[in-house]
Amino acid sequence: MKFTALQIATHINGIIEGNENTSVNGFSKIEDGKEGDISFLANPKYEDHLYTTKASIIVVSNVLELKEPVAPTLIRVSEPYASFAKLMRYYQNLLSTNLVGIEEPSFIHPTATIGKNVYVAAFSYIGENAVVGDDSKIYPHSYLGSNVKVGSNTTIFAGVKIYHNCVIGNDVLIHAGTVIGGDGFGFAPQSDGRYKKIPQLGNVIVEDFVEIGANVCVDRATMGSTIIKKGTKLDNLVQIAHNVEVGENTVVAAQAGISGSTKIGNHVTIGGQAGIVGHILIAEGAKINGQSGVSKSIRDKNTIVTGSPAFDFSSAMRAQAIFRKLPDLEKKIKELENLIEILIKEKEELSS
């Protein structure tokens, strides 16, 4: 598919500098651009590439002042990164719009409800009383259990498993290998040392505009619901335990884990490999650095924590600075101890 600068500028409300009939058919980084590509410049430190790139069209900021002439056609916008992302989403949607219909072999229970313009790939399973909304896409080897509800314009990639009674909202993206609604980790210790499984009777609710990466596990609630609220983004290999609530527009990076019944506020950022214990609260806007271990509630909004156990970021930085000085401090302490010993001896000699 080819698009002209005029078509692109119209889509992202940009202003053209150059030939409005310049056409492109691919995307690239600005430093790797070649003829027929479109790229963008958002970070000023990459500006030098603007004057050497072979890309045909570059999306740039309205306020960028050129240091020298450029060969590509420019499209000026207020937010280059956001505008370029919008173009990529548009292009991706165009590529996938041809995927409509039900492929064979696949299984759709007679009581299931399938909306308009839905794509169900071969080797998919859609269970009893399941619902799939309009314009949604179910890729190969996906499993939707009984009573699962999937909203409109949602994409379930290959190998995703959604257990019974779970609810997936509109405009959700779930990547390959993810499991939604597996049993929570609940076992009661017995007097003979064994562990008896506690039934997990709840479900998972994933609200609108959520994106879930590959090989993520979101466990069903023991009772009630595990909830991923709208706009939240989960990276690959994230673990969300039973009865957790993750607030709106929260971001969780890869390999992070959130233990059972913890409540995460809105607009929280959780770094990679961070671990959060169960039954605590994380306040709105909190930032948890990668590999932090959070063992108690964060109750103040916009708090930044780091370390394991995690504590206030500023205090942690001061502690690290002191830690680096420990050898010098130890040396000074020994010098002071020696000096004290000398003073004590001198005092004893004088008193005798």
The DSSP result for 30-81, as a single string, is GGG--TTEEEE--SGGGGGGGGT---SEEEEETTPPPSS--SSEEEEES-HH
Domain parsing of the chain, residue ranges = 3-96, 101-314
Q: Which region among 78-92, 250-264, 286-300, 316-330 has the lowest average model confidence (pLDDT)? A: 316-330
Token duo for residue 118? 């839905």
Percent of the chain exceeding pLDDT 70 equals 99
Q: Cis ω on the peptide bond leading into residue 44 (within 30° of 0)?
A: no
pLDDT band with cut points at 50, 70 and 90 for residue 1 = confident
On the question of a cis peptide bond just before residue 69, with omega within 30 degrees of 0, the verdict is: no
80-126 per-position pLDDT tens digit: 999 999 999 888 878 766 789 999 999 999 999 999 999 999 999 99
Helix residue ranges per DSSP H, 208-299: none
Strand-pairing partners, residue 287, are 269, 304
Task: Note the CATH number of domain 3-96.
Answer: 3.40.1390.10
Task: State how far Cα 67 lies from the chain centre.
Answer: 37
- Under DSSP, is residue 150 helix (H, G, I), strand (E, B) or coil? strand
- From residue 122, alpha-carbon distances to 59, 92, 142, 161, 343 in Å are 39, 21, 9, 15, 88
The total number of residues shown for the chain amounts to 352
Question: Terminus-to-terminus CA distance in the chain, angstroms?
Answer: 101
**Angle 88-92-95 from CA coordinates, rounded to 5°:** 145
Using pLDDT thresholds of 50, 70 and 90, give the confidence band for residue 311. Answer: low
Question: Averaged over 303-314, what is the pLDDT?
Answer: 84
Cα separation, 241 vs 211, whole angstroms: 17
Does domain 101-314 fall into CATH 3.60.15.10?
no
Query: Given a cut of 70, is residue 294 above it in pLDDT?
Result: yes
Catalytic residue numbers read 242
**Predicted TM-score (pTM) of this structure:** 0.79
Q: Is the pLDDT of residue 155 over 90?
A: yes
Integer CA distances (angstroms), 46 to 78, 88, 238, in order? 18, 20, 32
Residue 260 pLDDT > 80, yes or no? yes
Query: How far, in Å, CA of 27 to CA of 101, rounded?
Result: 29
> Which residues on neighbouring strands pair with residue 306, listed in sequence order?
311
Q: What is the mean pLDDT of the chain?
A: 94
User: Tokens 């004057």, residue?
Assistant: 51
